[in-house]
Structure 1
């Protein structure tokens, strides 16, 4: 089943309604975008602005963006959210909607976002 929030394609999931209903302590989100050579600086700045804004949202445990060492045009996102409700709220924030618009303008490609339920394991 195709999974999306606020018109943003998230990816395929066998049971998207089941996400966030298990014993998981957090939702992990990964995704990436690849900039056009002439837009990499603008996309990197838009990504950093989005990350910094997202970190202030209720339910955000962590939110980061990294440059791919093998492809410096590719930016990789890693996020941890308290629960699915927090993540859904995040996707409809005006800043998130603006960021997606910037990605559509500045990126040459973007991968579907992947969602995972996770629990911390004691070492």
Structure 2
């Protein structure tokens, strides 16, 4: 499984638009092949930070996602609206819930 986390700083003048773009991006991404989960959240400790948590079946699914024009446009829009570039981190992960929780 691939886990992606990301965040972007909101600005007062673009806050509502950025949140709407994030929610639309997450909803659209959930419909893509290989997407297990894709969620957009406002950080409760820093309400000026929009966060993303994603789960994907494979590296190939992530590559296909990032190749879509809508995904590239989303990142470009966030870059243009935020005072700081978006942050993204991509991890290869193994689900060990059953090992730990029995």
The counterpart of 1:81, out of the listed 39, 48, 56, is: 56
CA contact (8 A) 2:40 2:52 kept: yes
Question: Which portions of structure 1, spanning 4 or more consecutive aligned residues, are displaced by more than 4 angstroms?
Answer: none
55 and 44 in structure 1: CA distance in 2 versus 1, 3 angstrom threshold: same
Aligned residues: 98
| Higher helix residue share | 2
CA contact (8 A) 2:2 2:56 kept: yes
Runs of 5+ consecutive residues of structure 2 not aligned to the other structure: none
Correspondence 1:39 to 2:17:
no
89 and 51 in structure 1: CA distance in 2 versus 1, 3 angstrom threshold: same
The counterpart of 1:115, out of the listed 85, 90, 99, is: 90
How far is 1:110 from its partner? 3.4
Q: How does 1:42-81 map to 2 (within 5 A)?
A: 42-81=17-56
Deviations 1:37-88 (A, max 9, x none): 1101000000001000000000000000110112211001100000000001
Question: After alignment, is 112-121 or 27-36 more displaced?
Answer: 112-121
| Higher strand residue share | 1
CA RMSD of aligned residues (A): 1.1
User: Equivalents in 2 of 1:101, 1:114: separation in Å?
Assistant: 17
Runs of 5+ consecutive residues of structure 1 not aligned to the other structure: 1-25
Please report the TM-score for the alignment, with normalisation by the length of structure 1.
Answer: 0.76
